[in-house]
Amino acid sequence: MKRFLIIPVLMLMAVSVDAQKIGFVDSDYIRNNIPAFTTAQEKLDQLSKEWEKEIADGYAVVEKMYKDYQNESVMLSQELRMKREEAIIQKEKEVKELQNKYFGMEGELFKKRQELIQPLQDEILKAIKAVAAEGAYAAIFDTASGGNILFASPRYDVSDLVLEKMGYKN
C-alpha cells in the first residue's frame, strides 16, 4: 500500500520540477552594455583618483614634516619639539579625516555611488523581475555575483532579454 502512495507522489514531484523554469543573467555583461552605467563608473573612478591624489599629497606633507623634524630635533628646544610633534600629529589627523570623508562608510564616494549607480541597478532589477514574470521563471540567478553556479547552459541566459526590456539592443 505504501508503495502505491509513494509512486504518485514521486510522479507529481517530477512533474512540478519539470514545470519550473529557471534562468540566469550576467549582471556584469548587462552593466557593460548600458552606456549610462559605463559613464557613471568612469566618473566615480575619476573622482576616486582625484581624492586618492589629494590624500597621498597630504600624507607626503606629513612625511616631509616628520623628516624635517627628525633632522632638526637635536637643535630644537623641548617646547619647539613638542609643538612640531603636535603639528605633525594634527596634520596626520586632518589627512585621515579627509580620507574618511571621501572613502569612509558614509563618505563622498559612497554617496556619489548611491547617486549615480543605484538608480541604474534598480532599473536592472526591475527589468529582471519583469522578464521573470513574463517568462514565468521560478528563479533567475546571477552568474557574475560569485554564485556557485558551476555550469549553466547559454540557452537559459536571459541577459539579452533584460537589456531589451530596458530598451538596449545588443
49: its cell numbers: 583618483
Model pLDDT, residue 88: 96
- Mean pLDDT on 138-155: 76
Band the pLDDT of 147: cuts 50, 70, 90. Answer: low
155: its cell numbers: 540557452
Domain count along the chain:
1
Instruction: Confirm whether 13 is domain-assigned.
Output: no
Instruction: Confirm whether 28 is domain-assigned.
Output: yes
* pLDDT, tens only, 73-109: 889 899 999 999 999 999 999 999 999 999 999 999 9
With a cut of 90, say whether residue 141 has pLDDT above it.
no
Instruction: Confirm whether 10 is domain-assigned.
Output: no
Range of the domain at 64: 21-165
Instruction: Confirm whether 9 is domain-assigned.
Output: no
Model pLDDT, residue 112: 95
Instruction: Confirm whether 44 is domain-assigned.
Output: yes
Q: Which residues touch 85 (CB under 8 Å, ≥6 apart)?
A: 69
